[in-house]
Amino acid sequence: MKFELVKLSYATDALEPVISKQTIEFHHGKHLQAYVNNLNNLVPGTKFENADLETIVKESEGGIFNNAGQILNHNLYFTQFSPNGGGEPSGRLAAAIDAAWGSFENFRKEFETAGVGLFGSGWVWLAKDKDGKLLITKEVNAGNPVTKGFVPLLGFDVWEHAYYLDYQNRRADHLKELWKIVDWKIVECRF
């Protein structure tokens, strides 16, 4: 199976000022493209040659895992944003967040705290377990909740390349701003 760079549903400058055109061009066009190229070079002749991305992430290790994990993570990341995003979730997802954290504001604070507190590079995720219970997970490097049997719903990238051009070392500011572009309809569909 040949993997391809996920297409953006918005222009590279559409998420400004939250994420700049320059960051999108480097993050999506360079970093993610490199992961795609690397995985396409690594899987031929392996048991993952015809596997889908999620299977590779669940069953691989080393370089194959790192590149597949980053592709899966970034595919979810870039498709969860919209220039018309923001606000709060609704329906079943909103009710589940309220049940787990008491309010969207409490969830948001805990999610940001998890992202700021993750040492080094990685991801913070809103995920659901097999029973539909919501949880926040912190994943280092290319980690994804699917490796633990969870379904990733919303992920914020805390690798420096995701925010350094726009926020320098201010990870917390980056995390606070991302809520303005979350497309809750996409996240709710994942739920």
Whether residues 66 and 144 fall in one domain: no
CATH number (domain holding residue 139): 3.55.40.20
Can you tell me the mean pLDDT for 121-143? 93
- Look at residue 163 in the predicted model and tell me its pLDDT: 81
What is this structure's pTM?
0.91
- Look at residue 120 in the predicted model and tell me its pLDDT: 85
Give the pLDDT confidence of 68-86 residue by residue, as tens digits.
999 999 999 999 999 999 9
Kindly tell me if the per-residue pLDDT of 104 is higher than 80.
Answer: yes
- Look at residue 185 in the predicted model and tell me its pLDDT: 94
Whether residues 66 and 95 fall in one domain: no
Give the pLDDT confidence of 49-66 residue by residue, as tens digits.
999 999 999 999 999 999
14 assigned to some structural domain: no
User: Do 102 and 139 meet the contact criterion of CB atoms below 8 Å apart?
Assistant: no
Average pLDDT, the chain: 93
Long-range contact set of residues 32-35: C-beta below 8 Å, sequence gap at least 24: 32/5, 32/6, 32/70, 32/71, 32/74, 32/78, 33/5, 35/67, 35/70, 35/71, 35/74
Whether residues 97 and 185 fall in one domain: yes
Q: How many CB atoms lie within 10 A of CB 140?
A: 12
C-alpha 142/C-alpha 136 separation (Å) is: 16
7 assigned to some structural domain: no
Whether residues 96 and 180 fall in one domain: yes
- Show the domain range for 130: 91-190
Whether residues 160 and 69 fall in one domain: no
Give the pLDDT confidence of 11-31 residue by residue, as tens digits.
999 999 999 999 999 899 888
- Look at residue 162 in the predicted model and tell me its pLDDT: 76
Whether residues 71 and 99 fall in one domain: no
44 assigned to some structural domain: yes
Give the residue from 41, 59, 79 where a domain finishes: 79
C-alpha 25/C-alpha 124 separation (Å) is: 22
- Reduced 3-state DSSP string for 113-166: HHHHHCCCCEEEEEEECCCCCEEEEEEECCCCHHHHCCEEEEEEECCHHHCHHH
Greater model confidence, 169 or 97: 97
**Residue 118: which pLDDT band, with cuts at 50, 70 and 90?**
confident
Can you tell me the mean pLDDT for 92-116? 95
- Look at residue 29 in the predicted model and tell me its pLDDT: 87
Greater model confidence, 168 or 35: 35
1 assigned to some structural domain: no
Q: How many domains does the chain have?
A: 2
- Look at residue 119 in the predicted model and tell me its pLDDT: 86
Whether residues 99 and 69 fall in one domain: no
- Look at residue 159 in the predicted model and tell me its pLDDT: 81
- Look at residue 161 in the predicted model and tell me its pLDDT: 81
